Amino acid sequence: MPTGTRVPTVPITELEQSEFCAPDSLQTRPLEEELSANVRWQRLPRSYMRMSAEELDERIAAAKARLGTDLVILGHHYQRDEIIKFADFRGDSFKLSQQAASRGEARYIVFCGVHFMAETADILSGEEQQVILPNITAGCSMADMAPSDDVHDCWEDLSQVVGEERLIPITYMNSTAAVKAMCGHNEGIVCTSSNAEAAFRWALQRGRRIVFFPDQHLGRNTGLKLGIPLEEMVVWNPFKSLGGLTPERIRGARLILWQGHCSVHTRFRVQQIQQARARHPGVHIVVHPECTMEVVQAADDNGSTEKIVRVVSQAPPGSIWGIGTEINLVNRLARENPDKTIFCLDPVVCPCSTMYRIHPAYLAWVLEELLEGRVVNRITVDPETRRYARVALERMLQVT
C-alpha cells in the first residue's frame, strides 16, 4: 500500500497509558481487581486472578525452586517490585538479553518485560532455549508506532529520493524484530539509549544521511550531541505522502526521524524541572534521552536507565536527585539509596502501562504451567527475520 493511504491510528498501548496513572502510589492488587482498568489483559484461570499477593509470592517461589537451573527469570528495571524480587537478572532490555544468551544451561527464559525484548532474547539465545513472555498483551507503544509495513514503505520512498547516495538505517532497541531485520538487511544497525552516540558515529562514517526509527526524541537528542543542527533534521510522518516532506527537504537533511515517542518519557516537562529546583535548592536533575529536547537541555544530565542507576547510586550521601524516568525505577532507587533524597519529576504516578501488565499472577501461571510440561506464551522469531535482525544486533555489539 503506497505511503499516505493508510488511515492514521494511535496504538492501543498509547491510548491505555493513562489508565495506570494514579494520584499518589502504586500497589499491586489481586489481578481480578486490576482488570477493572480499561485496558487489554490476557485472561487467566480464575483461581490465579483471585490470589492474594502473599499466595502468589509463595507459589512463584516454590515453582522457581522446583525448576532450578532449567529456568532464568529476567526483570526489566521498569517492572513492579513484586516481580523484580524473583528476577535472576535485572537491567535494561539489551543487557538482559545478553545475560539470557550467557545462560546456555537454562531451557526456559521468562522475560518480565515487553514483547520486543522477548523477541531480542529469542534472537540472541540458543535454538534449544525457549523464551516466554508472562503476559502476551505486554507490548510497547513506541514499537507499535513503527509497524514494519510502514517502515518498509518509508525506506523505499527515501531510497527513491536520495538515489545512489547512501542512507544508513538505525533502529532503537524498542522496535520489532522485523524492523531490526530491515536495518540488518540494509547495512544498518540497532542501538540502545546507552550507545546511540556510538551507533550514530558508526553510521556517519558510512553515509551522510541517517534514518532513525522509532523514537524521534532519542534521535534528535543524539543528533544534537554529535553536532547535527536542527535545520538538518526532519520528522517522517508515516501517515502522510512522502512522510509529509518534499524531496528537497529530504535531500537537505542529515537525520530523518520517525514520528514516534515514549508514552512515559514525554510526560516530563521543563516546568517540572523548574519546580523541582525551586523546592530543592542544589537538586541534580537527570532524565532519560527519550524525553523531549527541551527537557533534556533543561536537565543537568541525561542517560539510559543503566546510567541513571549508576549515577544516582554512586552519588555522595545527602545529595538530592530529581529523576525523569519510569516511576518503578525511581521508587526502587529511593529505597536502595536511603542516604539521598530521590524523587520523580512527574507528580502523577504513571508507570509504563505495558510493563505493568506483568502482574505476579502471570508469572505464577507460566511457571506452574512449565512444571506441568506446558510452555505457554512462547515468543519465537522466524528464521529469516532472526538472521538479519541478529546482523544488526551484532553490529551494535561491535561499536559498544
For 64-123, what is each residue's pLDDT tens digit? 999 999 999 999 988 999 999 999 999 887 788 778 778 788 999 999 999 999 999 999
Determine the average pLDDT of the residues in 364-380: 97
Q: Are residue 258 and residue 147 in the same domain, yes or no?
A: yes
SS3 349: strand
Q: Are residue 117 and residue 228 in the same domain, yes or no?
A: no
Determine the average pLDDT of the residues in 317-344: 96
CATH of the domain at 151: 3.40.50.10800
Residue 373: inside a domain, yes or no? yes
With a cut of 70, say whether residue 13 has pLDDT above it: no
End of a domain among 213, 233, 263? Answer: 263
pLDDT at 39: 62
pLDDT at 93: 78
Residue type present at position 94:
F
HSE of 214, CA atoms in CB hemisphere, 13 A: 27
Residue 135: inside a domain, yes or no? yes
**Contact by Cβ (8 Å): 361, 341:** no
Beta bridge mates, 379: 131
State pLDDT tens for residues 148-181. Answer: 999 999 999 999 999 878 999 999 999 999 999 9
pLDDT at 1: 40
With a cut of 80, say whether residue 10 has pLDDT above it: no
Determine the average pLDDT of the residues in 261-267: 93
Alpha-carbon distance of 51 to 32, in angstroms, equals 9
Q: Are residue 248 and residue 330 in the same domain, yes or no?
A: no
Extract the runs of DSSP E, i.e. beta strands, from the chain.
Answer: 71-76, 89-91, 108-112, 130-132, 167-172, 189-191, 209-213, 233-236, 255-258, 284-287, 301-302, 320-324, 341-344, 378-379
pLDDT at 92: 83
State pLDDT tens for residues 292-309. Answer: 999 999 999 999 999 999
pLDDT at 63: 98
Alpha-carbon distance of 219 to 210, in angstroms, equals 10
With cell 541534580, the residue in question is: 284
Alpha-carbon distance of 202 to 399, in angstroms, equals 7
Q: Are residue 300 and residue 373 in the same domain, yes or no?
A: no
Residue 2: inside a domain, yes or no? no
End of a domain among 204, 237, 263? Answer: 263
Q: Number of folded domains in the chain?
A: 3
- Residue 130's domain spans which residues? 29-139+354-380
| Residue 129, CA distances (Å) to 107, 368, 393 in order | 5, 18, 19
Residue 174: inside a domain, yes or no? yes
Predicted TM-score of the model (pTM):
0.89
End of a domain among 263, 287, 319? Answer: 263
DSSP state of 79: S
